[in-house]
Structure 1
C-alpha cells in the first residue's frame, strides 16, 4: 500500500539488527520518528562513536561521556557485540573507565582509536598524550577481534584472551619492551596479527628497542606500509630514530607481509615450514641475514620489492643465500643495474614454475649487461614468465626477453605486459622482433597483455 511504513512493522530485534550496521549518529536520528523509535537506538548491539560527530566545545568531552553513560545505563544487562570508538585529537577524561565498562558487556569486536594530544587548560598548546587501555581488556573472554590505534598498553601482567583471533596494533605505545610478546602469547587461538610500529611518536626512545612475536597459532602476520587510515597507501615513512629488533617465533605461520623499514633487524627464530605466501618490501641487516633468509626459505610464493632485491644482492656478496626449494611462484622488481644478479638468485629457486619480473631504471644504466648463466629451474621447471610494466622497448628489454626464450627448456608462456605509455616502437614491431628469437622450448607461446597507467 502506498505510504505504508513497513519497516516499523518489523519486530524490534530485526530493527535493531538493521541499525547495528549504521554509525551510531545515524541510529540516534531515528529516535525522532515516533514514540516507538525513541529508545530503539539504545538497544542496538553495536556502538560506532566518532568524536568528530560532536560539536567542539571546551568541555566537549563531558558531552561524549554523558552520551556513553546514557547508553550504558539504559540496559545494564545488554551486550555490545561490536564497538568502535574514535577520539581524534583530543583527550577525553574518563574514557578509560567507559571502555572498561564496555568490555564488561562482553563485546566480540573492539576498535579504539585514541587521542595522541591534549590541550593544556587555558592555552592553545597541545602536549603528547597516551590513553592507556583498562586492564580488564587483557582478560576478555569474548573478544574475537581487537584493533588499537595510538593507544597505550601497559604491562598487563596476566593476559588471557581465549577467543581472540585477529589483532591489529597501529602505532601503539608499549610501556615495556616485553609487552607485545605477553600480549600475543596470551591469545592461544590468535590467527592474524597486524603491527605498525610507532616510529614518529614523542615517546619513542623510552622503550621500543625490541619486539617479539611468539605464537603457536598465528597464521598471518603483516607489517604494512602505513599512512593515516589506509594501510595500502604507499608513502615514505619517517625513518625510525630508535633502532628496533623484531623477532618472529610462529611455527605455523602461512602468510607474512613486511613493508617499510620499521625494524632495523628482523630475525626468524625457527624455520617457517608452513609459510606459503611472503611479501617483502624491506631491507635487512647483513649480520642477521642468514637467520632471516633461512627462516623464510620454505616459502611457496614470494613477492620482493626493488628494496629487498638490493638487500639480497648485498647479502650475496658476504653470505650464501639459501635454497628456496619450495618456491614455485616469484614476483620481483629488479633494478636494471642489478640484472647480473638475476641468474644468481634464480639459481636459489630450483623448482620455480612461474616468474613475474619487472625491471626498472634500465635507461639509467651506464654499462652493458650480459645474461649468460642458466639456472637449474630453466632446465626443468620454469613454465611461465611475465615481463611486467614494459614502458619502452630497446636493446635492454630485448636482451631480457631473449634470455628466457633461448635458455628456458620447458617454457610454455612468455607474456609481455605493455603499459599504455607512447612508444617509438609499436606493439606489432615488438612481437615481430620477439617471435624471431630461436626458442629453446618449441612449445613456448609469446603472449601480449596491456596495463593501463
Structure 2
C-alpha cells in the first residue's frame, strides 16, 4: 500500500526538495500522483548533463540536443505560470554550450522566475577551455538588469561564462532581501561593480567572491583581442548583517562588518602583495588564510591577532613563511590547522581549550602542548620519502607531552618510494602508540611492500590502520600483504631480528577487519577485499589492532 503518495502536496514537495536533483526528477515515473507532484514542484533545477553528455555532442546533433533542453524548461515554467504557482528556486547549470544562441531563452526563464516571486536564482554557464582569455566577452552570457530589480531574491549565485556590463553601476538595485551572494569566475565591465552590487544588499549574511575579472576593450583596436585582469580589491562598508565571507583572488580586502564571524581569504598567486583590514570585525570567530607568503609570521603576529580578535576560536594558516620558533597562546582557541608553513622547526602551543590541531607539510617540527584539553585530537597529514626515513618517527616522538600520543592520527598522503638504505629501520626504543594510521596510497612495486610497512610500523604503533579508497589508486595486493603479515601468515625478515627492541606486531593479540561499505558481517577478508569499489569512492577498509 503506497501511503506516501497520499500525503499532502506540501509534504511531498518537501520530500522532493531534500532529494538530489536527479533522484527528485525520477519520482515523476513512479505514479500519476508523483507525476502531478513533480509538475507543481516549485524548485526547478536544470543541469545539461541530465540531458546530454558534452562528449556526445557533435556538429550534427548539437541543435537538437539544445532544443530538447529548451523545450523541457519552457514547458515546466509555463506549467507553473498557468497554475499561478511561484517559482521558489531556479537553478540552471549549462556546460560547454553556445550561450550566445541561448541568451534570449535564458533571459525569458529568469524573467518568469523573478516575476513569480522567486527566492533563489543559481546561474552557471561554463564555457569550454580553461583560460578566459581564449574567449571574447561576446561569448559570455550578458546578465540582464532585471536580476537586480528583484525584491524577492534571498540567494543569488552567478558562476562561469557570465558578464556584467557597466550599466549595473547606474541602474537601480533592489536586492533588499538577498542574504546569500556568490560571484565566481564572472566578468565585469568595470571593477567598481562588485562593491556597488554588494553595498546594495543590506541584509547580506554570506558572501563569496572567487576569481572575478574585468574585461577591457580590444587591445590596439585589434578585433577579438581582449585584456582580462582579476578584480584586485574589495571594499565592504556598513554591512551589519554580514557574518561569513569567502574571498579568493584579491590583493586588497577591507571589511567593515562588526558582526562578521567567519573569513576565508586566499591569494591567487604566491609571493604577491596582499593587504587585509579587519579592524572593525572584533567578533571574528573563524579565520582561514591561504597563500600569503609575503606576510612574515612570528610570535608578535599571533599576539596581535588574538588581541585584535578576542573571540577567535578557529584558525587555519596555509602556505606561510614562519619563524623557526613559534609560540601560540590563546585561551579561546579551539581549532588550529597549519599547512606548509616554511622554516618552522619548533612549535609551542598554550591553548587549554584547544580541541583539534592539524599539521600538514614536508617539514616536521617539534610540537609541544601546554595546559592542553583532555579532548584534544592531533592530526598530521604527511608526505613520506624513503630518503629520509627517520623524519616521521622523530616527528611523532617530538610531540609532547607523551599523553598526547593517544590522540595522534597520521594521514599518509603521498610517497616517493625507492629502495631504503641499509640499517634505516634500526631503532633503539619502542615507538609511541598513536590513535590511527590512514594511508591514501600504496607502494607501486611488491618489492617495496615490506620495507614500506616496516618503515611505518617502526615509527609508530597505531591502534588502527585504514586505507582511504577515495584516492587509493593502486592494486589491492598491498592491503592483502599487510593483512597476511599482521595475521602471521606471511613471514619476512624485520629489524627486530638484530635489535633488543621487538617489532610491535609480534605482540598482537587481535586483528579485526573493518570496512565502511556494505558487506556480510561474517564475510572473510578475501570477500571484503573483492567487494571494494572498482572505481574511486569514499570508502575505507582497515584493521583494528589490539596488543
TM-score range, shorter chain: 0.5 to 0.7
Shift of 1:54: 4.0
Aligned to 2:228: 205
Alignment of 1:362-381 (within 5 A): 362=363, 378=370, 381=371
8 Å CA contact 1:48–1:85 kept in 2: the answer is yes
Determine which of 273, 276, 279 is the counterpart of 1:267. 276
CA–CA separation in structure 2 for the residues paired with 1:354 and 1:6: 46
Gaps of 5+ in 1: 119-124, 225-239, 364-368, 406-410, 433-446
Cα 1:273–1:427 shift into 2, 3 Å: farther
- SS of 2:121's equivalent in the other structure is strand
Over 3 Å counting, the alpha-carbon distance change for 1:430 and 1:87 in structure 2 is same
Residue of structure 2 aligned with 1:302, choices 308, 315, 333: 315
| CA deviation profile, 1:112-152 (whole Å, cap 9, x unmatched) | 1124369xxxxxx9866221222222232222222211122
Q: List per-residue Cα deviations over 1:191-222 (Å, max 9, x = no partner).
A: 11222114799966356233334432211112
Q: Tell me how far apart the structure 2 counterparts of residues 370 and 13 of structure 1 sit (CA, whole Å).
A: 58
Query: Residue 144 of structure 1 aligns with which residue?
Result: 154
3-state DSSP of counterpart to 1:429: coil
Worse overlay, 127-136 or 390-399 = 390-399
Give the gaps of 5 or more residues in structure 2. Answer: 53-60, 216-224, 418-423, 434-460, 468-547
> What is the 5 A alignment of 1:269-288?
269-283=278-292, 285-286=294-295
TM-score, length of structure 1 as denominator length: 0.66
Q: Distance in 1 between matches of 2:351 and 2:24?
A: 58
- Please give the per-residue CA displacement for 1:350-383, whole angstroms capped at 9, x wherever unaligned: 88856725364348xxxxx999xx9xx95xx555
RMSD (Å) for aligned C-alpha atoms: 4.9
Q: Select between 78-87 and 391-400 the one with higher mean Cα deviation.
A: 391-400
User: Aligned pair 1:330/2:331, yes or no?
Assistant: no
Cα distance in structure 2, aligned partners of 1:99 and 1:51: 17
Look up the match of 2:246. Answer: 222
Tell me the distance in 2 between the aligned counterparts of 1:203 and 1:295: 42
Q: Which has the higher strand share?
A: 2
Aligned to 1:48, which of 45, 50, 55? 45
Cα distance in structure 1, aligned partners of 2:341 and 2:297 = 23
Q: Structure 2 residue aligned with 1:257, among 264, 271, 280? A: 264
Which of 107, 117, 126 aligns to 1:106? It is: 117
TM-score computed with the length of structure 2 as normaliser: 0.56
Q: Distance in 2 between matches of 1:147 and 1:293?
A: 38
Question: Would you say 1:176 and 2:190 are equivalent positions?
Answer: yes
Task: Describe how 1:423-438 pairs up with structure 2 within 5 A.
Answer: 424=425, 429-431=430-432
Q: What is the CA distance between 1:336 and its match in structure 2?
A: 7.3
The equivalences for 1:19-418 within 5 A come to: 21=19, 23=21, 27=25, 30=28, 41-54=38-51, 56-58=61-63, 60-76=65-81, 77-90=84-97, 91=99, 92-94=102-104, 95-116=106-127, 129-150=139-160, 151-154=162-165, 155-156=168-169, 157-198=171-212, 205=228, 208-214=231-237, 215-223=239-247, 244-259=251-266, 261=268, 264-283=273-292, 285-286=294-295, 297-298=308-309, 299-305=312-318, 307-308=319-320, 310=321, 312-313=322-323, 327=333, 329-333=335-339, 337-339=343-345, 342=347, 353=354, 356=357, 358=359, 360-362=361-363, 378=370, 381-383=371-373, 386=378, 388-389=380-381, 394=390, 398=394, 404-405=400-401, 413=404, 415-418=407-410
Tell me, in whole angstroms, the C-alpha distance in 2 between the residues paired with 1:41 and 1:74: 11
SS in 1 for 2:174: coil
Aligned residues: 386
More contact order relative to length (CA 8 Å, sep ≥ 6): 1
Q: Give 1:96 deviation, angstroms.
A: 2.0
Do the aligned residues in 2 keep the contact of 1:100 with 1:134 (CA within 8 Å)?
Answer: no
Secondary structure of 1:205 counterpart:
strand
